[in-house]
Structure 1
Amino acid sequence: MDKFENAKGTCSKEMKEFFIHEISSARTIQEATLLYRLSEPFLPSCKFVLASDLGMEPGFSVNQDFSAGAAVRSLFHSKKVWVLDKSTLDEMRDGPAVFPIDYSISLDTQALSYLEPFMAGNIKRIPEDYAEVFRFISQDNVFVDPIPYCYENLRNISAGGNSEKIFAKLKAYEVLRNVDAKLLADEGIIRSKVPESDLIKGAQEHMARMYMNLDNKKFMDTLNFRHQFMYCQLLKMALIQLNNPQKSTHNKVVAFMDFCDEVLATLGGREIAVAKAYFEKGQGFTFFGKIQKNKEDIFEVLDGMAWDLWHVRFLEEAMTISPDPHARYFFPSILTFDKRFIEVMDLYPLKSLAYVEGENRPMPFYDGDWFGLVDDDSERQDKIAQRYYSTESVASRDERRSSCELTLDSTVVGLEEELNRLCPKAKPLRK
């Protein structure tokens, strides 16, 4: 507290980062609010969203479980959130703060792909709770989007025959967006409120945006890099585990963190938590259940898993970008039928997420003792903190990150070759 009270004049980058960390890691909402009030002059345009039992409800972007395993997952485990920003705090001085928010539930690729056969009555291979889920997402006040499906299928849209299949899926999404909710509730009939021509137009607009994205080199380079970055980390996790599954969990975690520190110049808390769960539980951590030495599709499976991890990181980034310019906050979540993915989401709930408006750079904070999550021995925790999180280590990664990013492709190729030697039956994706 003294550092806050004694801060005068200009504020260095290090001091701003200290303020953000202290507010985001505060023990209580009251403490976070007090710390924000004291440091707000040094944090222009900085916003904080904190998990809380108090505060506001972020629409339907909260955790929800359905009867057969489907789930909506947000970045937070709480049903409400507490927000901190200058405008909201100023309004709260004179009474309750009232402001518009926006939210959306992203349908993952499976969830959206099931729409078309469900509407056609082909339910043999559809999860048992899909009708329950459909009733939920078809409500007029529940907003859903197809972003995960559209992004994952950008690489497929130009391949022969795929464009028609993708169009059919997106047309089914347009039916969902325009479904006659009363007819569905009263008679169980799925029918659009708008004519067929409007459904076709809506699907065509989605397709047009996908083709525009394909032609946008900067967009595609960014998307491919972020997916490859996740894929790279998963390759390394698989190599460490499959090469020596009997090695201690601690040593495997250190090997992974060494790789992230030295080769990628980035330590992602969420990805390290995923690695720790895998190293500790092996295939008992079902997210990696299909990663076996004798399988031919290891690379394909890892590629799909990379999209899962990317979607979580995308939710974090989406919180910093509101689609509605009038909304003060945007709260994204994702609907999935994949129990393995749900396990990953539940592994790393956020205590808070901070960001500076206009920078699109989320700063997420884990809801718990992160060092305790990585290792249960206090002495080893101290060594990890000193080894990877000292001022010198952080500065070194910052300095090396750009050059490491330039070599990501060659890093991935090297890891694929190494994994292929370990798993000779596997068929690499690259030709």
Structure 2
Amino acid sequence: MSNYENDFITEKVAEICKSRTTEEAYRLYRQYLPFLKDYKFVFGTNEGGTPGYAVNRIFSAGAAIRSLFNTERVLVFDPKTWQDMESGKAIYSIDYSISLDTQAISHLVPYLSGKEHSSLPEDLTEVFEFLIRNDVQIDPLPYLSENYLKLGNSETADGVYRTLKAYEVLRNIDIDWFKQHGKVRSTLTDHELTMKAQQHLSTMYLECEDKPVMDGLFFRHQSMYVLLLKMAAIQLKSPRASLKNKLSVFLQFCDDEMASLFVRETILAKAYFERGQKFDFFGKIQKNKDDILVQLANMAWDLWHIRQMEEVMTFTPSKRARYLFPAFLTFDKKFIEVIDLYPMKSLAYNVVNPRPMPFYSDDLINLFSPDQNNTTLDIHHYFSEERSASRDARRHRVRAQLPEIVNRLEAELLQL
């Protein structure tokens, strides 16, 4: 496919995804369908299908399930669904999964072992009763992602093994026994649970030897880490600088050194620059803190998990399903605030070469004009053909340059 054809298709995908109404999106999709037969589209709407239990909900003490969208329903377009819709009604099967973050798993492990602790969340039993339902599918992917790179340490590996065993208990819970006695018991023997956990851990060790996969995971995490380092350096160095100046420095960094414009993370930066220490997600990021780099590295995993959900939406579901909808379960109210900061409006991807093309709930340019001082931050030039082409040409170098960028920003931050 020529560059012209690629640009044409990308332009039409964006036009559909940015539609003001679902009617407009449907009309445009029907118009451009001959060029988009390998594409799927998902829109967050107040109409359409319900993506299983991968929808937003809050438990009694603040634990929450969050999807990429802030709506209860979704509307999907693809050639088969469109054909069904034209005939009158589209019926299609879906898969969904609810991922547990590391904090959620850290609460569930002692609970599953029968240990009671005053520090456990008040709504943990409520969450647990939801997770053990037969129609709820849980996914440990975020936890696994964070721990692949830690398996070289035997103590950490033992902790991962115990967590994987608890996860197998959760997956194979004796629901009837729990309902009758209020106690956790697995349908598997302890030996069977041990074997499953050991097999899972062995698989993780094998995957750790897949250098391209591990390099990709490391690069993704480090990219989020670098963005957080830059945000923190800007805010801590000049907390009283104008929002316009702070954002200008951050966007210039993204354009020059990362060769990408990160919409989600730029919105996060804007909120941080506006609120400072009042933004709870950055509450521990302060001058003269010995663990500031550790805190930012942990926060980078949170940001990557949101991006990871976008990627999961492009995964091939089971043969019976046409779409896969992920959601996230967390007890971390600070993280929930970040997820809620900028919900997704729509997402498109090519089924042959899956790569998420997310579009968010508001246009980036609109969100930055005007700023709090009623002074327009002109970011139009970042979206010019010239700047876009420049980023495309330089992007392949970023992976090699990233370690140097990390070292420089860490040193800059620690000097503050």
240-249 or 367-376: which moved more?
A: 367-376
**Counterpart selection for 2:64 from 67, 71, 86:** 71
Point out the more displaced range, 200-209 or 31-40.
200-209
* Mapped partners of 2:317, 2:193: distance in 1: 22
Partner of residue 95, structure 2: 102
Query: 1-side partners of 2:148 and 2:312: how far apart?
Result: 19
Q: Aligned partners of 1:130 and 1:341: how far apart in 2? A: 17
Matches within 5 A, 1:260-275: 260-275=254-269
Per-residue CA distance 1:252-297 (angstroms, 9 max, x = gap): 0110000000011100100100100000000111111100002110
Is 1:356 the counterpart of 2:356 in the alignment?
no
Determine whether 1:243 maps to 2:230.
no
1:334-345 → structure 2 map (5 Å cutoff): 334-345=328-339
Q: Cα gap change, 1:198/1:265 in structure 2, threshold over 3 Å: closer, same or farther? A: same
What SS does structure 2 have at the residue aligned with 1:122? coil
Runs of 5+ unmatched residues, structure 1: 1-9, 423-431
1:384 alignment partner in structure 2: 379
Stretches of 4+ moved more than 3 A in 1?
A: none
Give the letter aligned to residue 216 of structure 2.
T
The 8 Å contact of residues 11 and 42 in structure 1, kept in 2 or not, is answered as no
Aligned residues: 411
8 Å CA contact retained: 1:58, 1:80: yes
Deviation readout 1:186-212 (Å, 9 max, x if unpaired): 331211122222212221222122101
Equivalent residue, structure 2, for 1:38: 31
Equivalent pair of 1:265/1:400 in contact (CA under 8 Å): yes
TM-score normalised by the chain length of structure 2: 0.96
Structure 2 residue 157 is matched with structure 1 residue 163:
yes
Q: 2:107 aligns with which of 110, 114, 118?
A: 114
Name the SS of the counterpart of 2:257 in structure 1. helix
Identical-pair percentage: 48
> AA paired with 1:24?
C
Amino acid at match of 1:301: Q
Instruction: Find the counterpart in structure 1 of residue 44 from structure 2.
Output: 51
1:344 Cα shift? 0.6
In the alignment, the residues of structure 1 paired with residue 246 and residue 325 of structure 2 have an alpha-carbon distance, to the nearest angstrom, of: 35
Alignment partner of 1:84 is 2:84: no
Tell me, what secondary structure is at the counterpart of 1:364? strand
Would you say the 8 A contact 2:369–2:375 is kept in 1?
Answer: no
Q: 1: distance between equivalents of 2:390 and 2:188?
A: 57
> Could you tell me which residue of structure 1 aligns to residue 391 of structure 2?
397
Deviation string, structure 1 residues 112-148 (Cα, Å, up to 9, x no partner): 1222211222232211111111011111110001111
Residue range with higher mean Cα deviation, 328-337 or 403-412: 403-412
Contact 1:317 1:361 in 2 (8 A): yes
Query: Which string of whole-angstrom CA distances, capped at 9 and with x for unpartnered residues, describes residues 284-343 of structure 1?
Result: 111111000021100000000000000000000010013424321000111111111111
Whole-Å separation in 1 of the counterparts to 2:409 and 2:162: 37
C-alpha separation between the residues in 2 aligned to 1:156 and 1:222? 16
Structure 2 CA distance, aligned partners of 1:197 and 1:323? Answer: 31
Q: Is the 8 A contact 1:272 1:374 kept in 2?
A: no
1:24 maps to 2:17: yes
Deviation at 1:27, TM superposition (A): 1.0
Q: Conserved in 1, the CA contact under 8 Å of 2:98 and 2:327?
A: yes
Any unmatched runs of 5+ in structure 2? none
The answer (yes or no) to whether the contact 1:46–1:85 under 8 Å persists in 2 is yes
Cα offset, 1:50, TM superposition: 0.1
Find the aligned partners of 2:304 and 2:180 in 1 and give their Cα distance.
39
Q: Given residue 48 of structure 1, which amino acid in structure 2 is its aligned partner?
A: F
Counterpart-to-counterpart distance in 1, 2:155 and 2:406: 30
Asked if the contact 1:351–1:367 (Cα under 8 Å) also holds between the matched residues in 2, the reply is yes
Superposed CA RMSD in Å reads 1.5
Query: How far did residue 408 of structure 1 move?
Result: 0.8
Q: How does 1:286-325 map to 2 (within 5 A)?
A: 286-325=280-319
Q: Does 1:174 align with 2:168?
A: yes
The alpha carbon displacement at 1:46 in A equals 0.7
